[in-house]
């Protein structure tokens, strides 16, 4: 299969999980908000990576926070994965992206498994367990399935995902974590994980496999699941928060060791790995032009700069072309890969 | 669109938080499922790993039930530690792989919690060599301890005894509990998966046979460094 047909297949597969997906919008993480800020590397960051944004000079950044769903209908309060796509503007039209989400791992380790997963995750009808089924579950010491959210019109693929995970151990962790991820009280109060490993290169040419995470200085907090969810609060909350005070995130870089799952995004690395504070992102205000600075922007996890390279993670490599296909389908702004640039290869 | 739940559904939804149902679960359901799907207690201590980062800052959480479960018995245990403070500190400095260690009395147990580098067996062996007498003084107050003291003459049995009192470290990744369960049952790792919804039951049944566990392998402010590296970098030793 050619790269472009595989990429198209991936995008189509993702879109098929959202029956009400609107053409011309992102296949997933459809609803989001753009924010402007500044990233300043820590004093030690340059010891690990020669990339421009890790040298200590302040770098302007554009961030797009998003809800995970590919539906155009906003449900901020539903339990869902959230995204934080960051563009570091390095000057002279150069930029690098870091795409992260609140889930700490991915559902599949390769493209074939991902296609099978998306097929399994097709949404089905909303099915509320009967009380008798719930009692039977409880008698088996099995927590009953959560009921649908107010206004939920399909099961969001939950039943299919669970069935898939029961047959594929590699998907279990992501499905389990996604099932209890909740909704953040604020986009600025969630941790975001880039999930894939990258290779960073230092001034001596030493190459290290690493993974990046954003940790909110304001702390992590989710909404109370016992309170009925609100559909529209995250953007307003962020705007009001930034009017009062900037929101900050620390960029943490975990260094992998030989034997770690460098190329498998379904396996988080042990917490015992060395982690380095690479810098602080300070978010100051919502982007004034949400269309140009948010919706039109096309992020790509493989838009990298000298000093950072992709690992052999097959999902990461597949995302490179899939994001480009997605950009073309929705008419997003230019991507460095459309002209065949070697960046990110 | 989902319909509004009936009163019966709402009542069932509340059952999980209902005291009577929780008592029923603890007294009947847990023993029943423990009988139906027998679960072996997981071994204590860190999981085996060859990777350097997994072999530094490892946790030992010994929980040892005292023979004398009275305030006098607890005081005797406290005294055994206090009387041997110099021996303990000298031993810890000599062993050289310990980040911290402390003794704690929790209810009727004397506990030793420590964070160390390297292999567990060698760690205990080093302690026997340097402060075996202190171990003997403490272990002599603990149920079943008489069989393994003096430690210098019962080295292997003593190491096994300590390992048996080290808490099971519930995996940091929730679903790895299922893999631990396969391992302790001697089953092949199941790549085909299990019923994910039974993960909570797997935890409940493990806690049924293993009432004290460590939740994960713990947070580290500076993970991945040995005592020797930290001391060398700070210019304070060895």
3-state secondary structure chain A: CCHHHHHHHHHHHHHHCCCCCCCCCCCCCCCEEEEEEEEEECCCHHHHCCCHHHCCCCEEEEEEEEECCCCCCCCCCCCCCEEEEEEEEEECCEEEEEEEECCCCCCCCCHHHHHHHHHHCCCCCCCCCCHHHHHHHHHCCCCCCCCCCCCCCCCCCHHHHHHHHHHCHHHHHHHHHHHCCCCECCHHHCCEECCCCEEEECCCCCEEEEEEEEEECCCCCECCCCCCCCCCCHHHHHHHHHHHCCEEEEEEEEECCCCCCCCCCCCCCCCCCCEEEEEEEEEEEECCCHHHHHHCCCCCCCCCCCCEEECCCHHHHHHHHHHHHHHHHHCCCCCCCCCCCCCCC
* Å between A167 CA and nearest CA of chain B: 5
User: What confidence score (pLDDT) does residue A148 get?
Assistant: 85
Has residue B228 got a pLDDT over 70?
A: yes
Distance from C-alpha of A104 to C-alpha of A81, rounded to nearest angstrom: 10
Q: Mutate which of A130, A177, A271, A277 to disrupt the B interface (most B C-beta within 10 Å)?
A: A271
Question: Which of A152, A166, A258 is closest, CB to CB, to B196?
Answer: A166
What residues contact B107, with CB distance under 8 A and at least 6 apart? Answer: none
Q: Which of residues 40-69 of B touch A (CB under 8 A)?
A: 50-54, 56-57
User: What confidence score (pLDDT) does residue A335 get?
Assistant: 65
User: What confidence score (pLDDT) does residue B103 get?
Assistant: 95
| Residue carrying structure tokens 């996604």 | A178
* Å between A339 CA and nearest CA of chain B: 41
* Å between A198 CA and nearest CA of chain B: 19
Distance from C-alpha of A326 to C-alpha of A340, rounded to nearest angstrom: 16
User: What confidence score (pLDDT) does residue B196 get?
Assistant: 92
Has residue A338 got a pLDDT over 90?
A: no
User: Tell me, what CATH number does A93's domain have?
Assistant: 2.40.180.10
8 Å CB contact between B149 and B159: no
Cite the beta strand spans of chain B per DSSP E: 58-65, 98-106, 109-116, 168-170, 213-215
Query: Which has the minimum average pLDDT: A117-131, A171-185, B50-64?
Result: A117-131
Has residue B204 got a pLDDT over 90?
A: yes
Q: B-chain residues within 8 Å CB-CB of A166?
A: 193-196
CATH fold of B52-166, please?
Alpha-Beta Plaits (3.30.70)
B123: enclosing H helix or E strand: helix B120-139
Q: pLDDT confidence of B17, banded at 50, 70, 90?
A: confident
Q: Contact B54/A270, CB-based, under 8 Å?
A: yes
A135, closest residue in chain B (CA to CA): B12
Q: Is B5 helix (H, G, I), strand (E, B) or coil?
A: coil
Q: B-chain residues within 8 Å CB-CB of A273?
A: 53, 223-224
Q: Contact A272/B56, CB-based, under 8 Å?
A: yes
Q: What is the pTM of this model?
A: 0.93
Interval A278-331: pLDDT, tens: 999 999 999 999 998 889 999 999 999 999 999 999 999 999 999 999 999 988
What are A113's two structure tokens?
A: 């498994």
Q: pLDDT confidence of A343, banded at 50, 70, 90?
A: very low
Phi, psi of A156 (to 5 degrees): 60, 20
Share of chain A above pLDDT 70, in %: 96
Within a domain: residue A129?
no
Interval B115-172: pLDDT, tens: 999 999 999 999 899 888 888 999 999 999 999 999 999 999 999 999 999 999 999 9
Q: A-chain residues within 8 Å CB-CB of B217?
A: 270-272
Number of folded domains in chain A? 1
Within a domain: residue A130?
no
Q: Contact A168/B223, CB-based, under 8 Å?
A: no
Q: Contact B193/A131, CB-based, under 8 Å?
A: no
Q: Which of residues 163-202 of B touch A (CB under 8 A)?
A: 172-175, 178-179, 189-201
Centre a 10 Å sphere on the Cβ of residue B235 and count the other Cβ atoms it contains: 6
- Using a CB–CB cut-off of 8 Å, the residues of A that contact B are 126, 128, 131, 134-135, 137-145, 147-148, 150-153, 162, 165-173, 175-177, 255, 257-260, 268, 270-275
In Å, what is the CA distance from A336 to each residue of A62, A140, A146, A329? 17, 54, 43, 16
Interval A137-187: pLDDT, tens: 999 999 998 888 888 888 889 999 999 999 999 999 999 999 999 999 999
Distance from C-alpha of B111 to C-alpha of B91, rounded to nearest angstrom: 18
Q: B-chain residues within 8 Å CB-CB of A126?
A: 1-2
Distance from C-alpha of A58 to C-alpha of A55, rounded to nearest angstrom: 9
Q: pLDDT confidence of A336, banded at 50, 70, 90?
A: low
Q: Contact B220/A153, CB-based, under 8 Å?
A: no
Domain range spanning residue A242? 3-122+157-330
Q: Is B168 helix (H, G, I), strand (E, B) or coil?
A: strand
Distance from C-alpha of A300 to C-alpha of A112, rounded to nearest angstrom: 21
Has residue A203 got a pLDDT over 90?
A: yes
Q: Contact A143/B200, CB-based, under 8 Å?
A: yes
Distance from C-alpha of B181 to C-alpha of B204, rounded to nearest angstrom: 12
Q: Name which of B102, B161, B114 is nearest B136 in CA terms.
A: B161
Distance from C-alpha of B78 to C-alpha of B90, rounded to nearest angstrom: 19
Centre a 10 Å sphere on the Cβ of residue B221 and count the other Cβ atoms it contains: 6
Question: Which of A152, A162, A173 is closest, CB to CB, to B175?
Answer: A173
Has residue A7 got a pLDDT over 70?
A: yes
Distance from C-alpha of A104 to C-alpha of B171, rounded to nearest angstrom: 15
* Å between A266 CA and nearest CA of chain B: 11
Distance from C-alpha of A126 to C-alpha of A149, rounded to nearest angstrom: 10
In Å, what is the CA distance from B178 to each residue of A176, A200, B197, B203? 12, 34, 11, 9
Q: Contact B201/A142, CB-based, under 8 Å?
A: yes
Question: Which of A168, A171, A257 is closest, CB to CB, to B53?
Answer: A257
Has residue A341 got a pLDDT over 50?
A: no
8 Å CB contact between B156 and B180: no
Q: Contact A172/B225, CB-based, under 8 Å?
A: no
User: What confidence score (pLDDT) does residue A246 get?
Assistant: 98
CA distance between the termini of chain B: 69
Regarding beta strands B213-215 and B58-65, do their DSSP bridges make them parallel or antiparallel, or are they unpaired? Answer: unpaired
How many A/B residue pairs have CB atoms within 8 Å? Answer: 129
Question: Which of A152, A162, A271 is closest, CB to CB, to B196?
Answer: A162
Q: Mutate which of A225, A255, A272 to disrupt the B interface (most B C-beta within 10 Å)?
A: A272
User: What confidence score (pLDDT) does residue A151 get?
Assistant: 81
User: What confidence score (pLDDT) does residue A1 get?
Assistant: 57
Q: Which of residues 5-34 of B touch A (CB under 8 A)?
A: 5-6, 8-9, 11-13, 15-16, 21, 25, 29-30, 33
Distance from C-alpha of B166 to C-alpha of B157, rounded to nearest angstrom: 14
Has residue A345 got a pLDDT over 80?
A: no
Q: Contact B198/A169, CB-based, under 8 Å?
A: no
Has residue B1 got a pLDDT over 80?
A: no
Per-residue pLDDT, averaged over A19-45, amounts to: 95
DSSP-derived secondary structure letter, B46: P
Q: Which of A249-258, B7-16, B84-93 has maximum average pLDDT?
A: A249-258
What residues contact A9, with CB distance under 8 A and at least 6 apart? Answer: A1, A115
Q: A-chain residues within 8 Å CB-CB of B179?
A: 169
B8, closest residue in chain A (CA to CA): A131
- Mean per-residue pLDDT of chain B: 91
Q: A-chain residues within 8 Å CB-CB of B178?
A: 169, 172
Question: What residue ranges do the domains of chain B occupy?
Answer: 52-166
User: What confidence score (pLDDT) does residue B109 get?
Assistant: 96
8 Å CB contact between A280 and A251: yes
């Amino acid at each position: 299969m050619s790269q472009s047909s595989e990429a198209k297949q991936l995008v189509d597969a993702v879109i098929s999980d959202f029956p009400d997906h609107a053409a011309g919008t992102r296949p997933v993480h459809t609803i989001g908000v753009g924010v402007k800020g500044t990233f300043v590397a820590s004093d030690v960051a340059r010891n690990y990576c020669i990339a421009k944004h890790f040298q200590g000079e302040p770098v302007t950044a554009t961030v797009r926070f998003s809800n995970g769903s590919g539906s155009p209908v906003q449900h901020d309060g539903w339990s869902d994965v959230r995204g934080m796509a960051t563009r570091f503007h390095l000057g002279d039209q150069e930029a690098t992206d870091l795409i992260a989400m609140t889930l700490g791992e991915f559902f599949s380790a390769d493209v074939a498994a991902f296609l099978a997963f998306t097929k399994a995750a097709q949404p089905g009808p909303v099915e509320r367990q009967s009380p008798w089924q719930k009692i039977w579950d409880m008698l088996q010491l099995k927590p009953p399935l959560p009921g649908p959210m107010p206004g939920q019109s399909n099961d969001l693929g939950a039943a299919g995902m669970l069935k898939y995970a029961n047959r594929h151990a590699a998907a279990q962790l992501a499905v389990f974590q996604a099932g209890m991820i909740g909704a953040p009280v604020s986009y600025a109060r969630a941790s975001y994980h880039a999930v894939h490993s990258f290779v960073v290169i230092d001034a001596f040419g030493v190459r290290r496999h690493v993974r990046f995470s954003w940790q909110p200085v304001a702390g992590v907090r989710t909404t109370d699941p016992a309170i009925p969810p609100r559909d529209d609060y995250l953007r307003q909350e962020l705007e009001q928060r930034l009017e009062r005070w900037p929101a900050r995130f620390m960029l943490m870089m975990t260094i992998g060791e030989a034997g770690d799952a460098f190329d498998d995004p379904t396996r988080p690395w042990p917490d015992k790995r060395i982690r380095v504070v690479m810098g602080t992102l300070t978010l100051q205000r919502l982007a004034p032009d949400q269309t140009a600075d948010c919706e039109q922007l096309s992020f790509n996890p493989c838009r990298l700069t000298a000093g950072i390279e992709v690992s052999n993670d097959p999902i990461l490599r597949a995302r490179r072309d899939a994001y480009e296909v997605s950009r073309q389908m929705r008419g997003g702004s230019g991507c460095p890969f459309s002209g065949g640039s070697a960046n990110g290869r | 669109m989902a319909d509004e739940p009936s009163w019966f559904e709402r009542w069932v939804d509340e059952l999980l938080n209902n005291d009577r149902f929780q008592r029923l679960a603890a007294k009947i359901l847990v023993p029943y499922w423990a009988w139906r799907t027998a679960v072996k207690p997981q071994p204590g201590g860190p999981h085996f790993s060859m990777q350097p980062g997994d072999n530094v800052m490892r946790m030992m959480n010994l929980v040892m039930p005292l023979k004398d479960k009275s305030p006098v018995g607890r005081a005797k245990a406290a005294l055994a530690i206090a009387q041997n403070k110099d021996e303990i500190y000298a031993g810890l400095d000599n062993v050289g792989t310990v980040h911290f260690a402390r003794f704690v009395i929790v209810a009727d147990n004397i506990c030793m919690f420590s964070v160390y580098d390297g292999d567990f067996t060698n760690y205990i062996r080093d302690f026997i060599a340097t402060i075996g007498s202190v171990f003997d003084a403490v272990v002599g107050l603990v149920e079943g301890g008489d069989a393994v003291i003096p430690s210098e003459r019962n080295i292997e049995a003593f190491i096994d005894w300590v390992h048996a009192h080290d808490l099971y470290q519930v995996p940091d990744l929730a679903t790895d509990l299922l893999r631990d369960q396969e391992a302790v049952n001697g089953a092949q790792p199941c790549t085909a998966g299990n019923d994910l919804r039974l993960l909570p039951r797997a935890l409940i049944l493990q806690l049924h046979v293993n009432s004290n566990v460590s939740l994960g392998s713990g947070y580290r402010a500076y993970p991945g460094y040995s005592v020797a590296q930290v001391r060398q970098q700070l210019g304070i030793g060895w």
